[in-house]
Structure formats: C-alpha cells, structure tokens
Amino acid sequence: MQTYAPALQRIPLFQGITESEIAALLTCVGAAAVTVAKGEFALIAGDAPDYVGIVLHGQLEISRVDADGNRAILSKIGAGDCFAETLACAGIPHSPVNVLATELSRVVKLPYQRILTSCGNACAFHGRLLSNMLGILARKNLTLQQRMEILDKKTIRERLMLYLSRQTEQQGDPFRAPFDRNGLAEYLAVDRSALSREIGRLREEGAIRVERNVFSLRGKAGQ
Amino acid sequence: MQTYAPALQRIPLFQGITESEIAALLTCVGAAAVTVAKGEFALIAGDAPDYVGIVLHGQLEISRVDADGNRAILSKIGAGDCFAETLACAGIPHSPVNVLATELSRVVKLPYQRILTSCGNACAFHGRLLSNMLGILARKNLTLQQRMEILDKKTIRERLMLYLSRQTEQQGDPFRAPFDRNGLAEYLAVDRSALSREIGRLREEGAIRVERNVFSLRGKAGQ
DNA sequence: TGATTTCCGTTGCACCTGCAACAAGGAGGC
DNA sequence: GCCTCCTTGTTGCAGGTGCAACGGAAATCA
C-alpha cells in the first residue's frame, strides 16, 4: 500500500528519517494518497487546506483567481514538491489558491492536526518531522526576503548589482548564475532586453565582467 | 526572576498558553533574559542564531552590512516582537544580520534546540509552542508572498490596483488602508508623488474613489 | 489663536525602462 | 550539411516614473 515511502525519503520534509520510520509515520498521521487526473483539482479555492500536500509524481500548477475571473499562475510543482503547507501552518480556513493537475498526478495528504499532535507511540522521528517543517518554512522565508530586498530597488542597475554582490558573497567572485537571461530578468522582475542593455553598460564601464551566465564583480583591470 | 512571563502571554509565540505554563516553559527550555544597552548588539553578524529572541522592552534595529560597508536597516522591532527565529529555524550557522539596540532594551533568548526537543515532563504546551512557531513563520510567509506579487508588477497602476483589489477582497468595498501616502508608496515600492499622480488619474477615470486613506473600487456611478 | 510640522497633490523635466522587432550565434535534430 | 529553435545582444520609440520643488490643507502643539 504505502509503496511510496521510498520516494519520500529524499524530500526535505522527511530528511533524517529512515524509510521504515517514514512508513510508520504515514500510518501514524493518517496519510492518504490520491490520484488527480489531468484537469482536476488537488485543492480548490475556498476549501480548507488542513493538510500538507506532497507530490509523488505528475505536474500541478498553483493559481489564483481574481475577482474579475482572471487566473494567475503562481507556480508549478512536480514530484517531491509540497503544497498547501504554508496555508495549513498559518491556519488559513479557506484556500485562496487552486492546485490544478496539468497531467495525471498522484499526491499524498498529511492531515496537519495529526502532524502537530505527536502520536502516543514513542516516535522520535515525529519531532524530526516538525523540525523539518520549520526549516522548510524558514528557508522559504529567507528566499522570499532576499528577493524582496532586490525588488525594493527601483532601477535595473541597483537590482542587478545587489543580486550580483549577494551571489558573490555566497559563491565567491567569478560565479555562475543559476539563470539564463530570461530567468534572471524574471527574477529581477525587469524586461529581458532592458536587462541586456544594462549589463552591456556595466560591462563597458568596467564595473563587471560577464560571459554567458558567469559574472565577476572585478573590473577589467583587477583581473 | 521570571517576572516577564505575564508580558509574554500576549505575544503570538505564546498564544494559548497560560501564564503559569509559560513560566514553566521558560525554565524548561532554559530561557535567558539579557539587558542590551543602547548601541550594543543583541546579535552580531557572523554569530550563530541558535535561539529565538523576544523583545521584552526597548527598541532594536535589524541591519545588514554590505561588503562595501554600507549598512541597510531592514526593520525595527520593539516590545513583543521576535527576532532571529527565521535564522534559527532555517539552521543558518552564521547570522547575516546585526540586531542593534537603539535604546536600552531587554530581550529573552530561547535556545532553539531545546524548543525542538520536548522536555521529558509532560508539558503539552510545548507542542503548542511549536504550533505557534509554525504559524508565525507561515503567516510571515504569506505576507511576503502577497507583497511579492505586487512588486512583480511593473507599473504603478498595476501595483495599486492589485493592492486595492486584494484589500477589497479582505475588508469589503469601501476600506481604510493602514497606510498614509508615504507608507503606501513604500509598500508598493514606488515614488510618493508618482503614486499620487496615478491615484489622481484613476480617480479622474472614475475607476476608483479616494478620500484620504479610504478607497473604493466602485466607480463614481456605482455609488 | 497662531506657529510649526506633517501630509498630500501638482508639475516640469530628464531618463530609465518596457515593448517590439531584428540579427547573430549556438545547440540540437534529421 | 541544413534546418529549426533557443538564447542573447541591439536599437528606436514612446511613455511611465523618479526626482525635486512648490503650495496648500490638515493636524499638532504651545
């Protein structure tokens, strides 16, 4: 039945928990696996997100519907990703988002209340689950915060330079960005061509060096 | 000694826990209260944020120092606010930020590891503490996400309209914004005068109605 | 009441940036 | 090789926006 325990072993939520412990945990919290056909919803706006969702396989998109009926896709998730965990933890009674399967998918739902209330059994890994959960939320928090600092800047140059200096701090000086130009432009929330233009200017001024997605803050002279 | 338990009762981290339980909890996790003089640091960049900080009284500012030495103030916190909780939960070994007291302050530090490992005593409220913690992180997450959606928009008009429609969804139609113009401009990350200009245009077009910080999406005709 | 400060709207101006279109180079498929 | 698709750089243009400055209205306070 719970043949999906092995697959879960690698995702952040279950890090540090052995396969057999995961299996025990799943029955302990009353995990339920469901299949979601393409075009169907794993979670509908308005429903209570009282569980943590995990994608076993497939592809789903998280979207929000405006009052005007416009649908905005917030993100896409695949195997190993979680969903609804923030809503569940925040205790939001009605989901503001939809989770729609764009292909045949299978997801597990862990009832949030039973994640919280540690079972009577002496399952120490239950504590680990909570710890992992806190870690996931906190790291997502830091990620959001980091991008927000960038989006607070008003010019492309400021956003780019802040991004570059942050990355340089973390990865050392010549560093490889995990984006192509399009991705970087999206991350900085600016137009791609305008970004290219600004990169060109900075390069010409000798402030940065660029080759494909490898950046260096050392000017030409500095080598 | 732990005369500060009553003050803690009202902050989100301890919601649903009685005063006496809080006192027990504090000794249980080994909470330590420290006084921080004006100009001193409660947390220095590079140090291990292995605790959750709570401000009992006073005022502190969280700042980040660039490689160039420029200091950027990220936020200010006061009585009842928490700090370092995200870093602790994320397991960040070295704090990227400073927490500086701008006036004589007193803070409590709860060792994170001991928050996680529930004490041997049957303290059920320990679970509540974890639940509260998850709630805090998750809500902060949603707050960040919400603003991020706004900052993703490229024009003032789009940002403002998105903000207004979100607020209208939550508060009903004529709603009072918790900002003055300056604050709203900061939240939307745009220039104040440019925001005023755009508000003027929208009003003239009949798309919105505004009086001070009360907004309505119903056009003039709609009443 | 009068003075001071804060908040808000307005405007002129420069310029940054989004947008669209195009070209060059590279990667991969047949 | 040849073709196609993807990525990146470039450019003209229009318009949105930051910036600075000013003036009036409202609020706070003595």
User: Residue A173: its pLDDT value, please?
Assistant: 85
Both structure tokens of B173: 């139609």
pLDDT at A221: 45
- Using a CB-CB cut-off of 8 Å, the residues of chain B touching A92 are 142
- What is the spatial order of strands in the sheet that A214-216 belongs to? A175-176, A214-216, A209-211
Nucleic strand C under 7 Å from the C-beta of A188: no
Q: Find the residue closest to C26 using CA and C1' atoms.
A: A212
Phi, psi of A63 (to 5 degrees): -135, 160
Flag if A118 and B127 touch (Cβ within 8 Å).
Answer: yes
DSSP annotation of B10 reads T
Nearest CA in chain B to A165: B67
Name the residue among A218, A222, A153, A216 with its Cα closest to residue A188: A153
Q: How many angstroms separate the CA of B168 from the C1' of D25?
A: 28
Task: Dig out the tokens for A161 from the structure.
Answer: 């330079």
Instruction: Report whether pLDDT(A149) > 90.
Output: yes
**A3/C29 CA-to-C1' distance in Å:** 39
Mean pLDDT for the stretch of residues A188-196? 96
pLDDT at A120 over 90: no
CA distances from B128 to A77, A116, A118, A152, A178 (A): 31, 9, 11, 35, 39
The per-residue b/e assignment along A84-108, b for 16 or more CB within 10 angstroms, e otherwise, is: bbbbbbbebeebbbbbbbeeebbbb
Picking from A17, A13, A91, the residue whose alpha carbon sits closest to that of residue B137 is: A91
**Which nucleotide has its C1' atom closest to residue A180's CA?**
D7
Task: Give me the half-sphere count of Cα atoms (radius 13 Å) on the Cβ side of residue B135.
Answer: 18
CA A212 to chain centre: 26
pLDDT bin (cut points 50, 70, 90) of residue A123 is: low
Identity of the residue in B87, B137, B151 whose CB atom sits nearest the CB atom of A151: B151
Cβ neighbours around B172 below 10 Å, total: 9
Helix (H) or strand (E) holding B16: none
Q: Please, which positions of strand C sit below 7 A from a protein CB? A: 7-12, 16-21
In the complex, which nucleotide's C1' lies nearest to the CA atom of residue B158?
D16
pLDDT in tens, chain B (223 residues): 556 777 788 899 999 988 888 888 888 888 999 999 999 999 999 999 999 999 999 999 999 887 666 778 888 898 899 999 999 999 999 999 999 998 899 999 999 998 888 665 556 788 889 999 999 999 999 999 999 999 999 999 999 999 999 999 888 888 999 999 999 999 999 999 999 999 999 999 989 999 888 999 875 444 4
Whether B182 CB is under 7 Å from strand C: yes
Q: What percent of chain A is predicted at pLDDT more than 90?
A: 63
Q: Are B93 and B48 in contact (CB under 8 A)?
A: yes
Shortest CA to C1' contact from B193: nucleotide = C9
Query: pLDDT of A210-223, one tens digit each?
Result: 988 899 987 544 44
Note the pLDDT of residue A223.
40
Q: What is the mean pLDDT of residues A196-216?
A: 92
